[in-house]
Structure 1
Amino acid sequence: MDDLRTARRLSAAVLAVSNQLTVPEVLQTIVDTARELAAAEYAALGVPDDNGSFAQFLVSGVSADQQAAIGPLPRQHGFLAVMLREPEAQRLDDIRADPRFAWWPAAHPQLKAFLGVPVTSGDEILGALYLANKPGGFTDEDEELVRVLAAHAAIALTHARLYARNRELTIAEERARIAHDLHDAVAQRLFGLRLTAQAADLLIDRDPAAARARLGEVSTLAREAAEELHAAVLELRPARLEEDGLADTLCKQVRILDRASGPDGPRLVCLGGDIPDLPPAQQTVVLRVAQEALHNAIRHSGAATITVLLQGTTLEITDDGDGFDVGATIKAGRSLGLRSMRDRACSVRGHVTITSSPGGTRVRLEVPGAG
């Protein structure tokens, strides 16, 4: 029966990697499974950042109140750092007796028996699984089980990294396309301006009234060219949340996309209401989810109108397009954009809901406020 239970729990953890779960959800499943199967009191999975701390640190066996008492995410020190430098598993009867042990905060649980397994992809260490406090200590079998789970954590992290890189390439390609389109538009304006100015020069002596009319056209064409150039600069300039604020930054981007979509594209409208002073992380998530949803709607919805509403801590993007089958899209594995939005929302304890049917799609993001 124990072998059957182990097989079932391992199967559930493996399936989590291929199912449409966010990366944090997959990693949390792996951490919980590792703690259960190894009969440990505590487990954690850390993914380092480039600043000596952790981009993600998921725990199992520690309550929310305990986590709050422990404090912020740990730094890379002691055995947390050892596991990020050395590609070998570490198994100890008492972690406190090892000279590489450093310290832990006052509210941190007291650990004794310890098992650490690196999460690797090739020669690169992506993170580490940490387990502690098994009565009688950890065994070879425990280490083998945790190695299997660490391998699947590596798959989830590698997929996330590949998606991020592909998304960056897509954004770069889209920005290049917009820049090219706007450049062509400006070039056409300037060509028309030059021809009109030449016509005015020819008419100035024999038909002053017609020349004045042509000069009026020159003024209009120059203004339109300046507007196109301004749009190009805004579109290619990174969003400035800190300087402009969330509402202004979002609406500016909507106006830019509306201009870039051209007469044959959808009309984009930005609405706003009372916007609370959201923390920077929440503001960034709202902006990125909006960009992802707008990108999808412009390219795929066939909509005549796309509306962006930012009200309180809720963002809604709706269109009147063809709609799509959300479930079928996810099942077919064509849901990278949807998964990206869910990942971003999950990173700030937010929630994304997507509803769609013939006649339109709605993306709704809710994030916690500053309180």
Structure 2
Amino acid sequence: MTTAAGQPGRDELRTARRLSDAVLAVNGRVTVPEVLQTIVDTARELAGAEYAALGVPDGAGSFAQFLVSGMTQGQQDALGPLPRQHGFLALMLREPAAQRVADIRADPRFRWWPEEHPTLRAFLGVPILTGTDILGALYLANKAGGFTEADEELVGVLAAHAAIALTHARLAARNRELTIAEERARIAHDLHDAVAQRLFGLRLTVQATGMLLDRDPAAARARLSEVATLAREASEELQAAVLELRPAGIGDGALPAALQAQVRALDRACRASGGPRLSYTGDGPLTLPPAHQAVVLRVAQEALHNAVRHARAHTVRVRLMPHGRGGALLEVSDDGAGFDVGAALAARGSLGLRSMRERACSVRGTATVRSGPDTGTVVRLEVPGVRG
């Protein structure tokens, strides 16, 4: 309703504010379920419905998510697990068009609901679309006088924002899967380059020792000493790789110890193979939450991997210290050959650099790499504290 002076009325302002809250939820740093719950609550309130729900199919005839508004927790518990797709629940996941029905029970497409299910009458269903792909649907029921075209348009706006949130969630999930696959491939490459090669050398030495046992026992004993050395080196390489694949637990305040253990294990492996010397320096306690600590550890691992494998460095230094208000600063530096950072990023082949920056962004931090030919490399990560 608009006032006589042409200004928006109270109801219009309330609608605009509630729509603004839903949009801000989509663009904010809240979880996808929280965004969807905000959308379904807003749809019920603004359309004047008694009940509302938002369903996201699981691809197997049921729902991966089914959020409701207007029902008590006791009512939800009485209904049991997530519903199967049937009747209008399924219809909205097949038909890319809204449905408005005066009485859902009188419609021939209605099937059934459980005994504990509340009685529904007037019904409005709006699909959540991205292009022609149906991501889910919004369901509203029981509005006095029935739903109107204006209600359908309003809920359609909210469905569009739900589509944005679900699309972002899909992309994030795919990015996580890609990152995991890439990290597994890299670790497998490391295992092949390091452990597999040492095991191959170990096998050849054992075979040669076996041939020497009868005709030259002294030489065989010397070879056995080589076997022990190769076995120890393979074990140290494997330990370093496993630490990178499954780092030590990093609960509250445990990051410095976990990172120091990682550096020590890698230093032992590098000494055995003639690689660079590694050192760790820590300064003061840290109060980062586990998610932030995990980012710091993973970025440190990536930087150490690059320094040890590619930099041809003599020394690699790791420094970790408190930074700002409850944050942390990580620096991994080496005196190796260095490289052209701009060229590496332009070539779009530097997975490690992209990975470090993406991890930093995930906790609102920053990761920078300073390097150049024959100048060594410095990786700097700044992670902010969590605001109270």
Q: TM-score, normalised by structure 1?
A: 0.65
Name the structure 1 match of 2:101. 92
After TM superposition, the structure 1 stretch with the greater mean CA deviation from structure 2, 219-228 or 34-43, is: 219-228
Question: Aligned equivalents of 1:31 and 1:325: distance in 2?
Answer: 39
Secondary structure of the residue that 1:59 maps to in structure 2?
strand
Name the structure 2 match of 1:108. 117
After TM superposition, the structure 1 stretch with the greater mean CA deviation from structure 2, 178-187 or 81-90, is: 178-187
Name the structure 1 match of 2:175. 166
| Alpha-carbon contact 1:182-1:260 (below 8 Å) kept | no
- Tell me the amino acid that sits aligned with residue 262 of structure 1: L
| Alpha-carbon contact 1:16-1:26 (below 8 Å) kept | yes
| Alpha-carbon contact 2:40-2:138 (below 8 Å) kept | yes
- Tell me the amino acid that sits aligned with residue 299 of structure 1: R
Name the structure 1 match of 2:266. 262
After TM superposition, the structure 1 stretch with the greater mean CA deviation from structure 2, 98-107 or 193-202, is: 193-202
Question: Aligned equivalents of 1:70 and 1:117: distance in 2?
Answer: 23
Name the structure 2 match of 1:175. 184
| Alpha-carbon contact 2:97-2:126 (below 8 Å) kept | yes
| Alpha-carbon contact 1:31-1:43 (below 8 Å) kept | yes
Question: Aligned equivalents of 1:326 and 1:56: distance in 2?
Answer: 38
Percent identical across equivalent pairs? Answer: 69
Question: Aligned equivalents of 1:139 and 1:172: distance in 2?
Answer: 49
Question: Aligned equivalents of 2:327 and 2:89: distance in 1?
Answer: 41
| Alpha-carbon contact 1:203-1:211 (below 8 Å) kept | yes
- Tell me the amino acid that sits aligned with residue 222 of structure 2: A
Secondary structure of the residue that 1:172 maps to in structure 2?
helix
Change (3 A) 1:322 1:144: farther
Q: Using the TM superposition, give the Cα deviation of residue 189 of structure 1 relative to its aligned residue in structure 2, in angstroms.
A: 1.2
Secondary structure of the residue that 1:146 maps to in structure 2?
helix
| Alpha-carbon contact 1:265-1:298 (below 8 Å) kept | no
| Alpha-carbon contact 2:52-2:140 (below 8 Å) kept | yes
Q: For the aligned residues, what is the CA RMSD?
A: 4.3
Change (3 A) 1:80 1:234: farther
Name the structure 1 match of 2:142. 133
Q: Using the TM superposition, give the Cα deviation of residue 299 of structure 1 relative to its aligned residue in structure 2, in angstroms.
A: 2.3
Question: Aligned equivalents of 2:70 and 2:238: distance in 1?
Answer: 57
Runs (5+) with no aligned partner, structure 2: 1-9, 247-257, 268-277, 281-288, 303-318, 329-356, 365-381
Q: Using the TM superposition, give the Cα deviation of residue 188 of structure 1 relative to its aligned residue in structure 2, in angstroms.
A: 3.8
| Alpha-carbon contact 1:96-1:112 (below 8 Å) kept | yes
Change (3 A) 1:360 1:24: closer
Q: How many residues align?
A: 286
Name the structure 2 match of 1:353. none
| Alpha-carbon contact 2:363-2:383 (below 8 Å) kept | no
Post-superposition Cα deviations, 1:80-113, rounded to whole Å, max 9, x if no partner, equal 0000000000001000000110111111110000
Question: Aligned equivalents of 2:195 and 2:106: distance in 1?
Answer: 71
**Given the alignment, which residue of 206, 209, 212 partners 2:221?**
212
User: Whose relative contact order is higher, 1 or 2, with alpha carbons under 8 Å and at least 6 apart?
Assistant: 1
1:60-79 to 2 correspondences below 5 Å: 60-79=69-88
Q: Using the TM superposition, give the Cα deviation of residue 162 of structure 1 relative to its aligned residue in structure 2, in angstroms.
A: 0.2
Change (3 A) 1:361 1:188: farther
1:15 aligns with 2:21: no
- Tell me the amino acid that sits aligned with residue 124 of structure 2: L
Question: Aligned equivalents of 1:115 and 1:92: distance in 2?
Answer: 7
Change (3 A) 1:167 1:260: farther
| Alpha-carbon contact 1:302-1:322 (below 8 Å) kept | no
Change (3 A) 1:335 1:116: farther
Between structure 1 and structure 2, the one with the greater Rg is 2
Q: TM-score, normalised by structure 2?
A: 0.62
Change (3 A) 1:91 1:334: farther
Secondary structure of the residue that 2:56 maps to in structure 1?
strand
Q: Using the TM superposition, give the Cα deviation of residue 70 of structure 1 relative to its aligned residue in structure 2, in angstroms.
A: 1.4
Q: Using the TM superposition, give the Cα deviation of residue 336 of structure 1 relative to its aligned residue in structure 2, in angstroms.
A: 7.0
Secondary structure of the residue that 1:262 maps to in structure 2?
helix
After TM superposition, the structure 1 stretch with the greater mean CA deviation from structure 2, 49-58 or 222-231, is: 222-231
Question: Aligned equivalents of 1:265 and 1:166: distance in 2?
Answer: 33
Runs (5+) with no aligned partner, structure 1: 239-253, 267-288, 304-319, 340-357, 363-371
| Alpha-carbon contact 1:94-1:114 (below 8 Å) kept | yes
